[in-house]
Amino acid sequence: MPEMNLVQAINSGLRGAMRENDDVLVMGEDVGRLGGVFRVTQGLQEEFGADRVIDTPLSESGIIGTAIGMALHGMRPVSEIQFADFIYPGFDQLVSEAAKYRYRTAGEYQVPLVVRTPYGGGIRGGQYHSQSPEALFIHTAGLKVVCPSNPYDAKGLLIEAIRDDDPVIFFEPKRVYRAVKMEVPEETYGVPLSEAKIVRAGEQVTCVAWGAMLYEAFSAAEEAAKQGIDTEVIDLRTLWPLDVETIVSSVKKTGRLVVVHEAPQTCGFGGELVALVTERAFLHLEAPPRRVTGWDTPFPQTHEHEYLPLAHRIIPALIETARY
């Protein structure tokens, strides 16, 4: 079984899905001959041709609007938005159109499209190349939101997203693109868009994270263990629909919850996770749930590592919550 990084695994997933189904196509800015800004789609146009790997104009609204039209006519487009920060010109197409079609037509029409986009900080991208807008899409009924942390999950979740009949926003942690390698099957396989994964078992505090912050949470848990704090770490993988049962079951065991995400704290997804757990496991809580997040500011260029909720900020939260 070959070892792949995140870029290679996503490329393999796209290639496998396109071989499996002729209705699958890829479109976006520079995805064809160049292979995308991060080279995720490299080599696909050579294999499948310019009719199925389409270089588009620099128009996010046009890319997503065209993909919606294709999906309504039976195709399964996978659109790439070069950075999550650039998705806003197509936001109306996603939340007002793609998310609503199944509901407004009583299931007569479906929009089986995937929008792939790199998100988050850690690469010195500055204000316009480092944002984490996942909460905006989770808030919109009708969209599914996925954020893998590793190559194996990335390939399986992407294939499952392409097979899904609903629109899926697929956030890719660009900080992890080439930083992590693991064994990934060459054949196609699916990872369900409904299951979180416990990546570290523990008894004293539950820590929930996704994407690149999963590694920071895991590192913090390992350091906290040296001080006698046993942390259970959960990788959400799919943000919506949420596997709330896995989180609640863990919190009922540990009695404590820490949520980690890159986005600003106010109205971030961490607040919703805290609310869901409080509603379902209030009597099991032995400490106030805690969030370790980005700050409520625009993403900074110079002070990127002060903004990100890295392990050194998570460790005190785990220890203080466990000892509350």
Query: In this structure, are residues 234 and 250 in contact, taking their beta carbons and an 8 Å threshold?
Result: yes
3-state class (DSSP) for residue 93: helix
Q: What angle do CA 63, 149, 300 make, to 5 degrees?
A: 70
Tell me, yes or no, if 129 is annotated catalytic: yes
Catalytic residue among 73, 129, 261, 312: 129
Q: Pick left, alpha or beta for residue 36 (phi over 0 → left; psi -120 to 50 → alpha; otherwise beta).
A: left
CA 164 from centroid of its chain's CA atoms: 16
User: Across the chain, which distance is largest between two alpha carbons, in Å?
Assistant: 60
Sign of CA dihedral 194, 199, 201, 204: negative
Query: In this structure, are residues 59 and 28 in contact, taking their beta carbons and an 8 Å threshold?
Result: no
Query: In this structure, are residues 51 and 87 in contact, taking their beta carbons and an 8 Å threshold?
Result: no
Question: Strand ranges (DSSP E) for the chain?
Answer: 3-4, 24-28, 53-55, 76-80, 114-119, 144-146, 168-173, 182-183, 197-200, 205-209, 231-235, 238-240, 257-264, 290-294
| Residues that are catalytic | 129
